[in-house]
Structure 1
Amino acid sequence: MTSTIAIATIALGVGIAIAWWNLTPTSCPSSDKAWRSFASSRTPNDSSYTFHPHAIVTSDGTALAADVYVPAWWNPARSTPLPTIIHFTRYNRAFKVRWPFTLFFGNQVNTRSRRLVATLIPHGYVVVTIDVRGTGASRGTRPVDFSPREIADYRDVVEWTLAQPWCDGNVGTGGISYDGMVGLHLAAATDRVKAVATEFSPLDIYDDVALPGGVPCIGFARDYRHVTISLETNVPLEGVRMIPWWTHLTRLLFDGVMPMNGIAMDDVRRDHMKNWNSSAVFNEVRYRDDVIADTGLTSDALAVNDSVLERVRSNGAAVYFYAGYFDTASVRGSLRAFDLLGGKTRVTIGPWTHGGRKNSSPFSADSRVCYDFAQDERRFFDYHLKGKDESGFGSEKPIQYFTMGEEKWKSTDRWPPSVVTATKTYYLADHHLLHTESSSDDVAIDVYDVDVRSSSGYVSRWNLVQHVFLESVTYPDRAQQDKALLVYTSRPLSSSIVITGVVRVRVFIEAVDATDLVVFGYLEDVDPHNGTVRYVSEGRLRVSHRCDDSSASACRRSFKRADWRPVSGVEAVEFEMEPVSYRFGVGHAVQLALSGADDDNFELSGFDVPRRWKLYRGGAYDSRIALPVE
């Protein structure tokens, strides 16, 4: 009896806390509030819905667990059909709730599309959320992500949806991360999808998240595999650093994935035990054309590559990308897709972590996110699925971006924005300074002993699992970290500058007694008032990945085995940092920090990298950093 009372008391406390947290504040303390209200001028309908679980059987006989949310006021005899949003996820469409928390949440909680359901239902949409093959409560196995069979499932579900009485034929899709990638693969596979909203999705798996710059990203792979094992086999999460209260709370609240009537969970577990081990596979992949074990496929098969995007464009789907400055390479990937898709494509870039869970601008008074993604997506779907535009969506420019330091939203028709009219170049100079004029004809050498333990931090832009646990990517004062790095600093700025776009680095380095070389570069802002060193952006490159000879006008790296060659002598190391928009204040200094390691995020074992560099500057060695300036 005592334990029951204790559990009920805890449940009540958790319920009150969650209800308080979900209250909409009258004024938002965070800096990322959108440039306009996204609220509709129409009075929305009742937010209640009827819930319909289904086991959708695909063309190969596999049962997929699906939940259908239909507005409660909709009546098949009297109501007209509605536009429908299909949401596929590999992270459980819903979790089963333990008693007594069922008193507050019901039998299940939708953690992946809850806000979208709450926003779209009152505005006359049906939402269908599905566990993809080999995940959640769905049957089937996963030989690899985005297998041809999985993509065939997407088409099967669309055809099933179109045959339902509540669907009017206008179908949208999308989601966060993997779920957003599914949306793009679906829009490439059929012309029945009219709109895709994809949030914080890494598009090129190789260069955007798994091996950016050709360097294995353990910050992503290490924790991600533990999460997928836990979700796919329906066991508690182990092996991942978590906030203690998060671990206890989730185990207290949830009892694994919500089962589906007609699908036996014992059969589901047996299927899922055969799934591929993504972490083990990517530990073996080093080149873009490496074949993923037992599949015959390369990493490009897992990606939303140019071929996929071209089919999306051909099929006519509108696409809305959301991306964050503190989220892997989602900004870079989204802008690349914008260039390829054109037409009905939109991009919004903010100071966000993965999934838009935190505002990580160092200038924001609060890390909570005030941008209303769900209402903005509702505007997008209204425009493309209903032909309605009540909040000016159609008149807005296709790219909205946030400038940190100004804490201000801006818009543009293209990227880089037309306001970027100059390049400010700094040259590496004596006394570890950055000068705006090139050095003398004399060549100088700076010797750097690589600290293999140096790191940009465990909770970085690369460790997406930590983002899910609501950890802020704060990049604390880097002054201490920079003591182990090779650092060059400008004179204090006489006037503020705003950079927007891609920062380019070109340095000349000799790897001492090594045949490979990995270089990490960080753009930093030095505050003169307190000496604080703020992270702005970063880039990295495994230099032995050579330029693709097929591109004569610019260096494009294929990251294929045939284009790998060992380093020798003095190498011209050229790479781009992740896109950013940032204001350096008056009196602040621009700083470039170079490193040979990022221990918490990138794996260098197996690479013959040097413990010592020689960096050449001056004369023919015009080592420099170029900033795109508004």
Structure 2
Amino acid sequence: MRMTKEIKRERDESDDPDQQKSYGMIFEQDIPIPVSDGLVLRANVFRPDAEGNFPVIMAQGVYGKDLHFEDGFKTQWDQLTGVYPELCSNGSTGRYLRWETADPERWVPDGFVIIQIDSRGCGKSPGYLDPRSPREIVDYYDAIEWAARQPWSNGKIGLLGISYYAVTQWRVATLRPPHLAAICPWEGYTDYYRDSTHHGGILSSGFANYWWPKQCLAVQHGNGASPHRERETGKRVTGEEELSEQELIANRTDYVADILRHSLDSAWWRERTPVLDRIEVPVLSAGNWGGPGMHLRGNIEGFLGTGSRQKWLSLHVGKHWEGFYLPEYVAMQKRFFNHFLRDEQNGWQNEPEVRIVVRDPRGDRVRAASSFPLPETQPTRHYLDVASGMLSTDCPAEQCIAIFDAMGEGLSFTTAPFAVDTEFTGFITAHLWVSSSTEDMDLFAVLRMVDGAGKEVVINGAHEASPVSRGWLRVSHRRLDPQRSNALRPFHAHDRVEPLVPGEFYEVDVEIWPTSMVFPKGYRLVLTIMGKDFEFPDIPGRILHKHESDRGGATFQGSSRVVTGGTRASYLTLPHIPSINDREE
């Protein structure tokens, strides 16, 4: 164990002005945390240099607690420091910044303990590497209870972190650790199958292709070939033990094979997905509108589904790794945890339950609301018309059919230029009549924005250049779960494959992920329906669906048809938010 003692040089400009004390920091590295099956995890503990009992902010994950953010994720680091050049000044040296977790130098001076844990099988923690497995979540429970017993702890534990460090918060909260007091899952999905790996039943190939080898195996415990070293000591972040390649393989699951083997929702997925109504602790769920295909849906569903009586939803914009570190959001996180971990009466209890950044190409704005979907939402149908290529609130009288190549550019339907600024915020559904020349088809439904000059608007999304939103459906997975579907959004069961009869038409609902966007006067909304991933010209996509085992062969490369009008009307249901003037009328 290595211990260092540091003195805070100045206060973070985002600190709560009512908090008078500013503490120095003690850093304890590789602290042992025993868990219930006898294994010992390793953690880094950052705590105030003072006697007393302090609230704890914890994160447990697979990315290596000793790997500096910049060393592991240089591209993202450069983008973050470009947006926030004061990241490593004004209260922090940046020395302890780790990917997707809190900066101890911005928290410890305010009287918080920060704990970062290598989950089993990664970094300095031995054991079998099986990300998000039930055993890993039991370890998290044990670590929470361990922290509550420490002499520097006040017995109230909060969880904070992005992505992986958010996903596991939802999970461990369902186990109800007695000393867990609040969670803040920041851009972290809930439904492992629908939100992450199988969008509409279609395998998302990115995690299999890059996440597992580059972000997990590179920091597997005992990996002597790992390129990652601690900055100060030069030691491997994967520990001193060096395992052979055969031992490394034996000490981990085959993640890609697991995902491919479980192509339908099943008990395997359900034991890795939280039962949200079991969560009782206060929740601040923070999602990113620019993230269709990763996390956004989960943050909203988590907020709606949690059993917590005290819960808040915040929806922001920007890159996935940016907002979490910006001063205004650090201040929000601190207010939330100060209230629930040390009973500080700072007004948090009076915060509106919903805070959203409403996107607008001319400049975003913030709106507060009492619920989500917004109470004033007016679900509005926009009918597809093959004959004109338009989207209109009038249903075409004549039935028309359009044919497109599944691997081609698809079909696009466009609104007339909006006569006034028009906002859509909430859930979206495409109700379509479709047919395939083969026994299955994949639908990729994309919402796009075109400005008054006819130029496509490309959004700086959470993970990649993004359209307004996206939706997916494998048509053989078209069956809805009647208990979980409602008038605003479909919920597909994904529990069986129902092959298509080539040439026969089927009525399907495609869930398009929620969005918030103002279309200025003169702009148009475009719905594009394709049989493959939508990518902007010359901008390669990142969250793609191209795995050979899932989409290879002829089944998904046939010709597809869409019917519009008459008795087989296809339409898009959009969450229209009337303007203030409209509401007053």
TM-score range, shorter chain: 0.7 to 0.9
Letter of the 2:282 partner, please give it: A
- Does residue 217 of structure 1 match 2:184? no
The structure-2 alpha-carbon separation of the partners of 1:203 and 1:139, relative to structure 1 and needing over 3 Å to count, comes to: same
Offset at residue 581 of structure 1 (A)? 0.5
Q: Retained in 2: the 8 A contact 1:38–1:379?
A: no
Percent of aligned pairs sharing the same letter: 22
Instruction: Tell me the residue number matched to 1:311.
Output: 278
Letter of the 1:579 partner, please give it: P
Q: Measure, in 1, the Cα distance between the counterparts of 2:376 and 2:335.
A: 27
Q: Measure, in 2, the Cα distance between the counterparts of 1:553 and 1:106.
A: 49
Q: Measure, in 2, the Cα distance between the counterparts of 1:395 and 1:107.
A: 33
Q: Which runs of no fewer than 5 residues in structure 1 stay unpaired?
A: 1-22, 27-36, 239-248, 290-296, 359-368, 453-483
Letter of the 2:440 partner, please give it: D
Letter of the 2:237 partner, please give it: M
Instruction: Tell me the residue number matched to 2:384.
Output: 427
Letter of the 1:541 partner, please give it: L
- Does residue 384 of structure 1 match 2:331? no
Counterpart secondary structure, 2:333:
helix
Letter of the 1:165 partner, please give it: P
- Which of 38, 46, 52 is the equivalent residue of 1:80? 52
Offset at residue 272 of structure 1 (A)? 7.0
- Which of 512, 520, 524 is the equivalent residue of 1:589? 524
Letter of the 2:197 partner, please give it: A
Q: How does 1:174-213 map onto structure 2 within 5 Å?
A: 174-189=160-175, 190-213=177-200
Q: Which moved more, 1:113-122 or 1:518-527?
A: 113-122
Letter of the 2:219 partner, please give it: L
The structure-2 alpha-carbon separation of the partners of 1:496 and 1:256, relative to structure 1 and needing over 3 Å to count, comes to: farther
Offset at residue 499 of structure 1 (A)? 0.3
Q: Retained in 2: the 8 A contact 1:97–1:107?
A: no
Q: Measure, in 2, the Cα distance between the counterparts of 1:196 and 1:172.
A: 5
Q: Retained in 2: the 8 A contact 1:204–1:333?
A: yes
The structure-2 alpha-carbon separation of the partners of 1:422 and 1:151, relative to structure 1 and needing over 3 Å to count, comes to: closer
- Which of 490, 505, 510 is the equivalent residue of 2:435? 510
The structure-2 alpha-carbon separation of the partners of 1:173 and 1:439, relative to structure 1 and needing over 3 Å to count, comes to: same
Q: Retained in 1: the 8 A contact 2:312–2:353?
A: yes
Instruction: Tell me the residue number matched to 1:332.
Output: 297
Instruction: Tell me the residue number matched to 1:10.
Output: none
The structure-2 alpha-carbon separation of the partners of 1:567 and 1:551, relative to structure 1 and needing over 3 Å to count, comes to: farther
Letter of the 1:231 partner, please give it: V
RMSD of aligned residue pairs (Cα, Å): 3.3
Instruction: Tell me the residue number matched to 2:43.
Output: 66
Q: Retained in 2: the 8 A contact 1:226–1:237?
A: no
Instruction: Tell me the residue number matched to 1:136.
Output: 123
Instruction: Tell me the residue number matched to 1:525.
Output: 449
Q: Measure, in 1, the Cα distance between the counterparts of 2:455 and 2:19.
A: 51
Q: Which moved more, 1:147-156 or 1:581-590?
A: 147-156
Instruction: Tell me the residue number matched to 1:322.
Output: 286
- Does residue 90 of structure 1 match 2:62? yes
Q: Which moved more, 1:161-170 or 1:150-159?
A: 150-159
Counterpart secondary structure, 2:174:
helix
Q: Retained in 1: the 8 A contact 2:443–2:475?
A: yes
Counterpart secondary structure, 1:502:
strand
Offset at residue 357 of structure 1 (A)? 6.0
- Does residue 544 of structure 1 match 2:476? yes
Offset at residue 155 of structure 1 (A)? 2.8
The structure-2 alpha-carbon separation of the partners of 1:549 and 1:332, relative to structure 1 and needing over 3 Å to count, comes to: closer
Offset at residue 606 of structure 1 (A)? 5.2
Letter of the 1:302 partner, please give it: R
Q: Measure, in 1, the Cα distance between the counterparts of 2:70 and 2:404.
A: 56
Counterpart secondary structure, 1:430:
coil
TM-score of the pair, normalised by structure 2: 0.80
Offset at residue 396 of structure 1 (A)? 1.2
Letter of the 1:496 partner, please give it: D
- Does residue 403 of structure 1 match 2:358? yes
Q: Which runs of no fewer than 5 residues in structure 2 stay unpaired?
A: 1-10, 72-88, 459-466, 535-540, 578-585
Instruction: Tell me the residue number matched to 2:555.
Output: 608
Offset at residue 230 of structure 1 (A)? 0.9
Partner deviation per Cα, 1:21-55 (whole Å, 9 max, x = no partner): xx99x9xxxxxxxxxx7743334403533435412
Counterpart secondary structure, 1:122:
helix
Offset at residue 265 of structure 1 (A)? 2.1
Letter of the 1:399 partner, please give it: V
Q: Measure, in 2, the Cα distance between the counterparts of 1:486 and 1:529.
A: 21
The structure-2 alpha-carbon separation of the partners of 1:70 and 1:285, relative to structure 1 and needing over 3 Å to count, comes to: same
Q: Measure, in 1, the Cα distance between the counterparts of 2:395 and 2:421.
A: 22
Q: How does 1:61-460 map onto structure 2 within 5 Å?
A: 61-72=38-49, 74=50, 79-95=51-67, 109-112=96-99, 115-142=102-129, 144-189=130-175, 190-227=177-214, 228-232=216-220, 234=223, 257-258=236-237, 264-266=240-242, 270=247, 274-289=251-266, 298-304=268-274, 307=275, 309-313=276-280, 317-327=281-291, 328-341=293-306, 342-356=308-322, 370=326, 372-390=328-346, 392-405=347-360, 406-440=363-397, 442-451=398-407
Q: Measure, in 2, the Cα distance between the counterparts of 1:498 and 1:254.
A: 53
Q: Measure, in 1, the Cα distance between the counterparts of 2:336 and 2:260.
A: 39
Letter of the 2:110 partner, please give it: H
Partner deviation per Cα, 1:311-367 (whole Å, 9 max, x = no partner): 222xxx111111112223422212222222241111111123434469xxxxxxxxx
Q: Retained in 1: the 8 A contact 2:160–2:185?
A: yes
